[in-house]
Structure 1
Amino acid sequence: MTLAGCSLAPVYKRPPAPVPQAFPVAVTGNPASSPSGEQDLDDWRVYFTDPALSRLIEVALANNRDLRTATLRIQEARALYGIQFAERLPSVDGTASYNRGRTVDPSLGENVVASQYRAALGVSAFELDVFGRVKSLSDAALAEYLASVEAQRAVQISLIAEVASAYVAERALYDQEQLARRTLAARDGIYALTKRRYGAGMSTAIELRTAQMLVDSARASLAALARERTQAASALQLLLGDFAVDLPRATPVLDDLTMTPVAVGLSSDLLIRRPDIREAEQRLKAANANIGAARAAFFPSLRITTEVGSVSDGFSRLFAGGSGVWSFAPQLTLPIFSGGRNRANLDLATVRKDMAIAGYEKTIQTAFREVADALAARDQIDAQLDAQKGVYEADNERMRLAQRRYTSGVATYLELLDAQRSLFESGQELIRLKQLRLTNAITLYRALGGGWQKEGSA
């Protein structure tokens, strides 16, 4: 029993994180109000505060099939761990048998027909885990189970981010559709004016056809945006797992969507709490435990078979006095020659651990890059968005002046045409940057693992 407490698995030690201790801080950043680790952002409701978006996320968490599959994988891993853990305990079985046959009695030279009843309770081939082989396999199964839990949380965080991104994309298409409608209305007005001017001999046929072409082009753009928005809504409903969910039709627009800001300069230690990193570490622990099982295969194994029961030639006398039997059969197996199988298994387990270490480190580096990129882009996107707002306002004023000048006959149609084109393009770019700003905030939420939890609060 003392030997059964031994383990040949290497002592696990978490590899150092191959990244800097802190994220790079943006040069032109304004410190945002944030929990800074004091408030738990693990609850997505703290980050995504829009009521319509919150409702969609709740629907997705209840109905999304990928998340449901990840949850079922937890149950699968839990069952596998239960199976493996049961190998550490003896299996007690009850047996009952009846045997009737004819034999030859050598002393009498006669055939004898005899019956035998047998009832017993015993343990069959129970392995005393002298060198920790079964325990190592059980530890590996436990680590795989814990990895599946982290994988499910990673899928949940990814789902929340994907729903938010799909919702923002659908809202952006809605804004672009409204911009296209305003552009179409403005071009309809210019076309009507050009038609009147053409009838009065003040415009050329080229100007009239150009105005008509611009109206038709705006209609085509509006139809294309309507199609894209319908497809975006279907993609969002697929994430929700329910095509019967009604999506918001008019509000909110991108300007109304807000998300809780997160301060820059967060410690890279937060990445250790990201679920995909914790999943990778659990896979590493499983690989480490498998080395212990591979090492134990080089040493003797001790199995015990024991049985206590009763035997009789008549069923009525099966449990009578004097019919009791018992057996105790320990078996020691010493590996002598296996053709190099045990050595190959140990080499395989060692290589898989090295691969798990490399995968763990790569996961950390990828997570660090994702957070650093999102933090670095945030301030630049805000600055670009502020500048684009100025461009759009200037184009809007330019369009108003060009239309007035054209109506008064001062400006040429080419000037009005250029103002129309510039206003539509700057409006589209403004919507794109608003979408990019929100998408970057969602990316930061996802890169941080949906927020973090203080040690011991999980």
Structure 2
Amino acid sequence: MKPLLFSAAFAGCVLAGCSMEPTYQRPALPVPNSYPSSTGTSATPVLGAAPIDAAETDWHAFFRDPVLQSLINIALNNNRDLRVAAAKMAEARADYGETRANLFPEIDLQGYGGRQRLPAMSQQPAAGLLGPIQNNRNTATTFNTFQVQAGLTSYELDFFGHQRSITHESGKLAEATAADYQSARIALIGEVANAYLSLNADRALLQLAQQTDSAQQYHANVMHKAYNDGGVSEFDMRRSQTQVDAAEVDVQDMQIRIAKDMDALAVLIGEPVPSSYDTPHTWQAPLLTDVPAGLPSSLLDRRPDIVAAEDRLRAANADIGRARAAFFPNIALTAVLGTLSGGLSNLFRAGSSAWSTGLSGSVPLLDWGKNESELGASKARYGGAVAAYEGTVQEAFREVADDLAVRDHIEPELQAQQELVDESQRVYAISQVRFKEGMDDYLATQDAQRSLYAAQEKLVSLQLDQAVNQVNLYKALGGGWREMPAPTAGNNAARATAQRQSATVSQ
């Protein structure tokens, strides 16, 4: 037993050997320190402002509509794409567990029992690692062999960090898939919200189209009666009917769009949309809390897709350590302890114990450039991972900057459009009065009706754009944002302590 314990202790000691991995350094973010301002110039970060934590917060705090919350809950439970992402995350974690197990000796218990016949003048080892050499010089021999052995075989002593680099790489890839799952989850929440908003906007447009259709039908009836009485020409009567036809086309088009919206939403939530669902009266109300001013671009550090890209970069860095370790000797340990006997009844009696231990090693002498090529490929993969990480950061920065630009300009556009709708309603009301009093022909009333309908359509479209912009900011900022308490002497000290502890853990 002592040799086995000694071997296991020795194996544990070498686990703390050297590593061939390069020291990881995060690439500098290839983006400005702040997002562009609404004037198109670079905004100066607000010094001394309350820090922002971009970690994903409870999405219920941002999506306040109870119907939308219900739909998001259903989607998080049923969506098939999210299930695929969860399965990949579980698979990656299992792979990491399997790889990590290779850092420790695997001890097996084996048993063997057999009967052999050796001819005269032969020499042959008995079965099993502990079996002795059998010599038969004069006559054939028949014998039994029984053995029980426990130990480890060919355990790699990781002097140069080969297995540790592989394990580190696998762990970072597992973390990347976890971040991928988080990205998929945030994207799904945003897609459900956008589909919900589009459905509500199309239902609002359907109501407008139906109201316009009713108004046009009323005026067409008036014109038809006037034509029968000889008060208007056939041209005017026919023209009024074309407005009815156009309005009916819009009604049917909106119904088609609503049907498609319902189908898209059903796919996202993984089941038919509940029949009790109805359009809320204030569907265009803000869904999210407002984004604080002076938003720093460092928020992108917490976006799941950027976290995943950096995890893959760290994995590529660990892979370089694996490739470098291939240039150094590979040393393996074998240690077995057990019992051996020619009879089953004597297998566990005194004197039947046996043990074996040994070291084996190999070092590459002539591999025709194989290891050198593998190292070059590993470094090239690291360079690609750096470029992928920087590209992910740049794309994330662009998404946030675009959404902030929309937020800065859509509010005044909405106000102007609302004023246009109000003025169009007044013009339409006046035109109806003037038509009834005979001051204008019906063409002026039709023009006023068309202008009002177009202005109302545009207003609904802008309201949808504003709400979708808030959802897109939720996704672009990695699942939301929340303001932290302003820094004080007390929490500054606590933050410094937490940073030191984090640095100690990482080392």
Short-chain TM bin: over 0.9
- AA aligned to 2:110 is T
Shift of 1:38: 6.9
Counterparts of residues 143-182 of structure 1 (less than 5 Å): 143-182=172-211
Contact 1:272–1:278 (8 Å) recurs in 2: yes
RMSD (Å), alpha carbons: 2.3
Q: Say which SS state the counterpart of residue 351 (structure 2) adopts.
A: coil
Q: Paired residue for 2:106, among 87, 91, 102?
A: 91
Which residue identity does 2:112 align to in structure 1?
S
2:314 — aligned with what? 285
What SS does the corresponding residue of 2:33 show, helix, strand or coil? coil
Question: What is aligned with 2:416?
Answer: 387
Please tell me whether residue 56 in structure 1 is matched to residue 71 in structure 2.
yes
The answer to whether the 8 Å contact 2:198/2:261 transfers is yes
Deviation at 1:105, TM superposition (A): 3.2
CA displacement 1:203-256 (0-9 Å, x = unmatched): 111222222222122112101101111110111121111215346323234344
Q: Structure 1 41/85 Cα, relative in aligned 2: closer, same or farther at 3 Å?
A: closer
Q: Please list the CA deviations of residues 179-203 of structure 1 after superposition, one character each: whole Å capped at 9, or x if unmatched.
A: 0011011101101110111111011
Distance 1:445 1:69 in 2: 23
Q: Does residue 19 in structure 1 map to residue 31 in structure 2?
A: yes
State the match for 1:420 in structure 2. Answer: 449
Which letter maps to 1:74? M
CA contact 1:67–1:156 (8 Å) conserved in 2: yes
Contact kept in structure 2, 1:4 and 1:128, CA below 8 Å: no
The answer as to whether partners of 1:171 and 1:253 remain within 8 angstroms in 2 is no
Q: How far, CA to CA, are the matches of 1:359 and 1:39 in structure 2?
A: 22
Instruction: State the distance in 1 between where 2:14 and 2:267 align.
Output: 57
What's the CA shift for 1:90? 0.7
1:111 corresponds to 2:140: yes
Q: Could you give the per-residue CA deviations for residues 318-373 of structure 1, whole angstroms, max 9, x where no partner exists?
A: 12222222111210111111221111111111111111111111111111111111
Could you tell me which of 435, 441, 444 is aligned with 2:470? 441
Deviation, 1:378, is 1.0
Aligned equivalents of 1:247 and 1:333: distance in 2? 71
Q: Does 1:262 align with 2:288?
A: no
Bigger Cα displacement from structure 2, 149-158 vs 395-404: 395-404
Q: CA deviation at 1:4?
A: 4.6
Is 1:72 equivalent to 2:110 in the alignment?
Answer: no
1:250 aligns with 279
1:450 aligns with 2:476: no
Identity %: 36
**SS of the residue 1:209 aligns to:** helix
Q: Shift of the alpha carbon at 1:405?
A: 2.0
Q: Does 1:316 align with 2:316?
A: no
Q: In 1, are the aligned partners of 2:54 and 2:299 still within 8 Å (CA)?
A: no
Q: Is the 2:15–2:157 contact (alpha carbons within 8 Å) kept by the matching residues of 1?
A: no
* Cα distance in 1 between the residues matched to 2:426 and 2:64: 35
Matched, 1:301 2:334: no
Give the corresponding residue for 1:142.
Answer: 171
Q: Deviations over 1:398-443 (max 9, x none)?
A: 1222222223322123222222221111111111111011111111
Question: What corresponds to 1:399 in structure 2?
Answer: 428
Give the aligned residue type for 2:199: E
**Displacement of 1:26:** 2.1
- Amino acid of the residue matched to residue 366 of structure 2? F
2:264 is matched by which residue type in structure 1? A
Letter in structure 1 aligned against 2:61: V
Contact 1:48–1:260 at 8 Å: present in 2 too?
no
| C-alpha separation in 2, matches of 1:287 and 1:259 | 38
SS of equivalent residue, structure 1 residue 5 = coil
Alpha carbons of structure 1 residues 244 and 173: separation in structure 2 relative to 1, 3 Å? closer
Among 22, 32, 36, the alignment partner of 1:10 is 22
- For structure 1, the residue ranges without an aligned partner over 5 or more in a row are none
1:3 is displaced (CA, Å) by 7.8
* 1:162 to partner: Cα distance: 0.8
Aligned length: 454
Structure 1 residue 42 corresponds to structure 2 residue 71: no
Q: Structure 2 vs 1, CA of residues 134 and 3 (structure 1 numbering), >3 Å: closer, same or farther?
A: closer
Partner AA of 1:47 in structure 2: F
> 1:76-126 deviations in whole A, cap 9, x for unaligned?
111000000011111111111122222123376322222211211121110
**Which whole-Å CA distance do the structure 2 matches of 1:51 and 1:296 have between them?**
57
